[in-house]
Structure 1
Amino acid sequence: MLNLLLFLGLISTPPAILAATIYNPPLYSADSPDDYHDGPIMQWDPETQLFYRYAMAYTQCPLAGAPSTATSMLYKFLNSAVQSLAGTGFDCAPILSPLLSLGFGRDCGFKSPLSGQTVRVHTSADLVNWTVKTNNALEGGPDWLLDSILFRPAILRNPVTKKYVLWVNWLPRDEPVLASYRRSGYAVGTSDSPDGPFVNWTRPAMSHAGGADFSLVFDADAGDAYIAYGSWHNYAVSEGWRAEWYPDWAKDGHQIAIEKLDPSTFVEPAVDSGAVTVTSAPQEAPAFFKRGGFFYLVHGDLCCFCARGGDAKVLASRSAQGPYALVGQLNAWGEDHVPAQNSDVFEVRAEGARETTYVWAADLWFSSKSGMKGDDHQYWEPLVWEDQEVEGLGTVPVPRRAGGGKWMGEWELGQHPKL
């Protein structure tokens, strides 16, 4: 009967179904067709079903920390030994001298936009076939931006200014790279178009210096935006003999704080908003998003371009700045652990779809067959939701990986229209 009515033109054609097969190839078996890492996927206009990727391009170069190199093995042994003796949890820049760092921080992954490590904008209609829309979204930026180290972009659209606001983790080029991390922060640029390029770059002053991995969220219900960010100067060691005797750089920072953004611009923190710390130990790679009446923050143990990956703890709250409760784990340590670092949770919406699909994305460092950093893959898996009673929050829809925690080699992404 439906086909007859369509044939006679008595009813309109139902909305198209967005369907795609997403593949997660076995580790070291292939190279990614896209030099895409660290960044979010946005769908600015659900009616067009066009997806935008804002991501770091790391180019065709090897990272000195590759797990197969003798250099890396020696570095990791020495660094681990000092960590054990000092009681620190650094897993990123070396806490040893530049002599023992053996070049870490001067090679691939720590290059500047001038040498090809930049933010690219990709677009796709199906999340499978991607086109580079803008090869260098930072083109024409100031010298301090183009000759720096950048990681992990994130973007929002400000409904007041109609500007697209791009944030990037910014590090000055210092020697050793440990000094860069300690003086790091964020660079923020704006554009009238989602394609970029982005201009009017600034470096906002945050409540905590030494800014690291971060994520942005826009609360459409209230019209407010927030940043969740780790910081080298948001210390975990605040009491005891280590707090008294350790220098600042060794106090094991990287706790994650949440700060409200200026509502009129989104380019800096709101005046007198303050930052609320929501972790009690070093954590990084946050993914910050809202679903229904809850805010979710996914984050994991420190893992800087590490082959072992990190975990993905899930915090939930009814308010952007908390209080938060630990409600789940998307990538627990153990036999079924995916060797990936948490990157993003992105939304897939389609015209006429019954509900939004949420997809967990994580970076698989050193996963390519070639060993080139630009060829590394991301791991994607859809989330399912289960109600859970949480003290102080009531009934909370908690995300779980659709595969039950095991590696999903491939899965179907489909949006079903309302007929």
Structure 2
Amino acid sequence: MRTRRVYAVLLALVCALAGALVTASPAQAATQTIANGVQFKDTSGNPLHAHGGGVVKVGSYYYWFGEDRNADNTFRSVDAYRSTDLKNWEFRNRVLTQSSASELATAYIERPKVMYNAATGKYVMWMHKENGTDYGEARAAVAVSDTVDGTYSYRGSFRPLGSYMSRDITTFVDDDGTGYMVSAANENYDLHIYRLTADYTGIVSRVANPWPGGHREAPALFKRGGVYFMLTSGATGWSANQQQYATASSPAGPWTAMTNVGDSTAFNSQTAYVLPVQGTSGTAYLYLGDRWGNSFGGTVNDSRYVWLPLTFPTSTSLSMSWSPQLGVDTAAGSVTSTAATYNTLIGRASSKCADVPDQSLWAGAAISQYTCNGGANQKWWFKDLGTGYYQLVSRGSSLCLQENAANVSQEDCGSATTQQWSLTTSGGYVLVKARASGECLDVSGASTANSAAIITYTCNGATNQQWTRGT
């Protein structure tokens, strides 16, 4: 009898524990907050190098492949990372390297995209290949692997159908398993759409050249509800420009004319890929873009990532708006934006704005004051931390205002108290007080000149410590 009672108690405890686990399971798929316009880190804390990349989903994992460059911007490797929630990325492997083939020893390898071929069970990577000195080769290249994040066997490079130039590149697998490759041709003036061989390693035919002379690059092809979307950028080198999109009922067309989307610089980014995030509540579409380091005086490996949700006002139209951070729930298949208001911070004494000099995107740039001009480098998101303190996040750089011993600078956002500020209204003006020191945001020497340093100083109520928040 005692044994039965013990068994009954144990059974009840097991059932209760099981019920608790079932109840707790949705928390494992909680919405993840992803900051925008910043350099991502992998789960080991290293910079994540998947520039110009693409994503393939295998089981519950998203695998992200992209460019990892040497200091001179030449090819070092294609890196592979994996994640279940799109925020926490584990480095897996350098799946293709300089030593993978002799022609890769000195090369540019750009925009690697991996496709899974269900018929062969192989993973096929397409990429843009150059000689590492200039962009005269304009070739497509192919590599193949038995496993998604294993070593890829390089199959060589070529010009599509023997003669067409091939630069910026993307791939797409249709619902029926047909593979497509899209690449910029004719010195980037055309975008060619090719149908691939059954094993995805070669080209059968060119099925469309929909926008001859359009001067477009950075293509991303995806399908939603039976409608094919092509999202592209203009061809302006590393500098950001106006994104455009077109639609069709078939990859072979006919395609519509290109239509502008987003702002005039795609929020200072360029298309890399459009990722469908499918879950229990539906499918969200996530724009993956690069804010190229070369555009602000760095290298490809200094680049930042811009991820934005795509919305669809109609079945054949596309919209994209800025958000400083995203809420991503891969289990539900939802991507949400954070509504943010950006304000200028105008000094009472000088009538000038808190300014990131030269529109710098670099961490460590010291903040000064400058004539208000409406630039993104003068706009700040007062991010409420829910603790009585705020982070001041730059619209231009996505970096946070930080108090230092000698100055105030912009830095990678984190949890340090030196990036936390309280706001006190007095006489219609705002005092911005540093949590770490208790000192106030101050224009050094009460200067009214452009480029005067902004520092923190003992709060004294002077007009050079009084600010208004403009629009």
Amino acid at match of 1:399: L
1:215 counterpart SS class: strand
1:267 aligned onto 2:201: yes
Amino acid at match of 1:378: Y
Number of residue pairs aligned between Structure 1 and Structure 2: 310
1:411 equivalent among 311, 326, 342: 326
More strand by share: 2
Could you tell me how far apart the structure 1 residues matched to 2:220 and 2:264 are?
Answer: 19
Of structures 1 and 2, the one scoring higher in RCO (CA 8 A, sep 6+) is 1
1:129 equivalent among 77, 82, 88: 88
Could you tell me how far apart the structure 2 residues matched to 1:58 and 1:144 are?
Answer: 16
Amino acid at match of 1:278: P
- Give the aligned partner of residue 55 of structure 1: 66
Cα distance change, pair 369–129 in 1 and its aligned pair in 2 (3 A): farther
1:384 aligned onto 2:311: yes
Deviation at 1:20, TM superposition (A): 0.9
1:225 aligned onto 2:225: no
Could you tell me how far apart the structure 2 residues matched to 1:53 and 1:132 are?
Answer: 10
Sequence identity (%): 21
Amino acid at match of 1:194: V
Could you tell me how far apart the structure 1 residues matched to 2:233 and 2:293 are?
Answer: 18
Could you tell me how far apart the structure 2 residues matched to 1:26 and 1:11 are?
Answer: 35
1:292 aligned onto 2:225: yes
1:399 aligned onto 2:318: yes
Cα distance change, pair 397–200 in 1 and its aligned pair in 2 (3 A): same
Q: TM-score, normalising length from structure 1? A: 0.67
Amino acid at match of 1:167: W
Alignment check: 8 A CA contact 1:43 1:347 kept: no
Residues 207-254 of structure 1 deviation map (CA, whole Å, 9 limit, x = unaligned): 35221001100002x2201111101xx3xxxxxxxxxxxxxxxxx543
Alignment check: 8 A CA contact 1:137 1:195 kept: no
Deviation at 1:411, TM superposition (A): 2.0
Amino acid at match of 1:279: W
Could you tell me how far apart the structure 2 residues matched to 1:8 and 1:39 are?
Answer: 41
Instruction: Return 5+ residue gaps in structure 2 as ranges.
Output: 1-14, 40-44, 334-471
- Give the aligned partner of residue 239 of structure 1: none
Cα distance change, pair 338–134 in 1 and its aligned pair in 2 (3 A): same
Alignment check: 8 A CA contact 1:145 1:187 kept: no
Q: Aligned ranges for residues 12-411 of structure 1 at < 5 Å? A: 17-25=29-37, 33-45=47-59, 48=60, 50-59=61-70, 61=71, 108-109=72-73, 111-112=74-75, 117-138=76-97, 141-174=100-133, 177=134, 181-207=135-161, 208-220=163-175, 222-231=176-185, 234=186, 253-263=188-198, 265-270=199-204, 273-280=205-212, 281-306=214-239, 309-326=240-257, 328-333=259-264, 337-350=266-279, 353-366=280-293, 371-387=298-314, 396-401=315-320, 405=321, 407-411=322-326
Amino acid at match of 1:301: G
Residues 65-100 of structure 1 deviation map (CA, whole Å, 9 limit, x = unaligned): xxxxxxxxxxxxxxxxxxxxxxxxxxxxxxxxxxxx
Give 1 or 2 for the bigger CA radius of gyration. 2
1:374 counterpart SS class: helix
Could you tell me how far apart the structure 2 residues matched to 1:206 and 1:195 are?
Answer: 26
Deviation at 1:340, TM superposition (A): 1.1
Deviation at 1:377, TM superposition (A): 0.5
Cα distance change, pair 200–343 in 1 and its aligned pair in 2 (3 A): closer
Alignment check: 8 A CA contact 1:32 1:368 kept: no
Could you tell me how far apart the structure 1 residues matched to 2:99 and 2:68 are?
Answer: 17
